[in-house]
Amino acid sequence: MTGGLLLAGCAAPHDPEVTFFADGETVRITPSPVCDPALEECQPTGELPVPGGKPLNISVPRQVADAPWLVVFRYRAADGSVQKARSSLFRAGETYAYTLRTPTAGDQLMHVEVQRIGELGSNENKELYFGVDASWSLRVLS
């Protein structure tokens, strides 16, 4: 019995997974290994269909929620233009879930990222800046 407990205690930790849920379907994804230098957009590690105008529910584990985090996304507006937006910044320990809704029912999500913030501060002009240390990137299928 003790041997089993020791083995379980020695298991390698796994990358935290973020869960995305929409329209009766769920996907869990690991952090994106490939991002642009500014970590503004990362290669998706999962995909999920989200019908236009429908909400996308996001659930993060403790490894994400214990740090500041936010959701950034890109969507095609009803007029055909591509828009970028983001949620507010969630403080460490504030929440484990977020429901993403596009501004209008005619909008179609295209790309969604949960970004965990590793560094937060302000510059000499008192402008807020933050550094992303991990990103969970989802490609949205229409």
* pTM score, whole prediction: 0.84
Domain ranges of the chain: 18-141
Q: Which pair of tokens denotes residue 59?
A: 């659930």
The Cα 58–Cα 11 span in angstroms is 27
Model confidence pLDDT, tens digit, residues 52-65: 989 999 999 999 99
Are 138 and 111 in contact by the 8 Å Cβ rule? The answer is yes
For residue 7, what pLDDT is reported?
40
pLDDT confidence of residue 131: 84
Quickly count: other Cβ atoms within 10 Å of residue 82's Cβ: 10
**pLDDT for the residue 11:** 41
Blockwise average pLDDT, block size 10, the chain, 142 residues: 41 78 97 74 91 95 96 95 95 97 94 91 80 92 89
pLDDT at position 1 is 42
How much is the pLDDT for 119? Answer: 82
